[in-house]
Amino acid sequence: MSKVFRVDQDDPSAEVLNVAASELRRGGIVLFPTDTVYGLGASANIPNCYGAQELFDIKQRPPGVPVPLLVGKPSDLYVYGKDFPDYAMKLAEKFWPGSLTIVVKASDRVLPEFRNAEDDTVGLRCPDSQLMRELAISAGGPIFATSANTHGHPAPENFDEVEERILAHVNLALDGGKTKIGASSTVVICTEDAPIVVRETTVTEAEIAAALKD
C-alpha cells in the first residue's frame, strides 16, 4: 500500500502540500480528495509523463477517453484555454471554484498528450477545494485528474471506499475523509455559439442557462 497522509481539504498543511507537489513534479501518481469525489492525478506539466499514462492502466480505462485538468484559479481558463466564447468565462466566474468542468479549445500551454486528440480541446475545472487549488499551484501547473475507481465502478466519495487495488498502484495517497459533494462534476462544452451540457450532475442545465441570462 502507498504512503498515506491525513489532510484537511479546507486547511491543508504545508507539509502535506510539499510532499504531494514533489511527488507530482517527479512524475508520480497521487490519490486525493476533491470537492466532488476522490481522484487520481499526475502532473500535466511533464511531457510524456509516465504517471499520466499509467492512470489509464490503473483505472483499466480505454485509452483516448478525455480527462480534465484541475487548475489553481479561475483565471487559468485564459492560460490553458483559447478562442472561447465570452459565456465560457461567465460560467467560470459563476461556478468556479466548483463542480463544473468547462471544455474549451486548448492553448499552446497544454501539452498534446493532455488534449482531446479529436478536436484539440481540454476540459478545465477549478475545484472548490483549498487543497486541490494549492496543490495545482505548488506542483507548477494543472493536474491531469480522473476519478479514483476502476472504469465502470462507482467513484469513491470517502477514502474508505477507495479500492485496495487502486491504493496499491499510487505513489502517495491523501486521506481527507468524506468529500463535500460526493458526485462527479457537470461537464459543459464551450466551443460553439451556445454551451452544450454533456454530463449533468451537481450543476444543472437550468442553473447554467440562468447564469447566462444574468
Res 48: pLDDT = 77
Q: How far apart are CA 208 and CA 186, in angstroms?
A: 10
Instruction: Categorize the per-residue pLDDT at 79 as very low, low, confident or very high, splitting at 50, 70 and 90.
Output: very high
Res 1: pLDDT = 56
Q: How far apart are CA 84 and CA 82, in angstroms?
A: 5
pLDDT, tens digit, 9 for 90 and up, residues 15-62: 999 999 999 999 999 999 999 999 999 999 988 777 677 888 898 887
Burial of 199 per CB tally in 10 Å (0-12, 13-18, 19+)? exposed
pLDDT, tens digit, 9 for 90 and up, residues 81-115: 999 999 999 999 999 999 999 999 999 999 988 99
pTM of the entire predicted model: 0.95
Q: Taking the mean position of all CA atoms in its chain, how far away is CA 74?
A: 13
Res 8: pLDDT = 96
Which structural domains are found in the chain, ordered by start?
A: 3-213 (3.90.870.10)
What is the 3 state secondary structure string of the chain? CCEEEECCCCCCCHHHHHHHHHHHHCCCCEEEECCCCEEEEEECCCCCCHHHHHHHHHHCCCCCCCCCEECCCCCHHHHHEECCCHHHHHHHHHHCCCCEEEEEEECCCCCHHHCECCCCEEEEECCCCHHHHHHHHHCCCCEEEEECCCCCCCCCCEHHHCCHHHHHHCCEEEECCECCCCCCCEEEECCCCCCEEEECCCCCHHHHHHHHHC
Dihedral sign for Cα atoms in the order 201, 206, 209, 214: negative
Res 41: pLDDT = 95
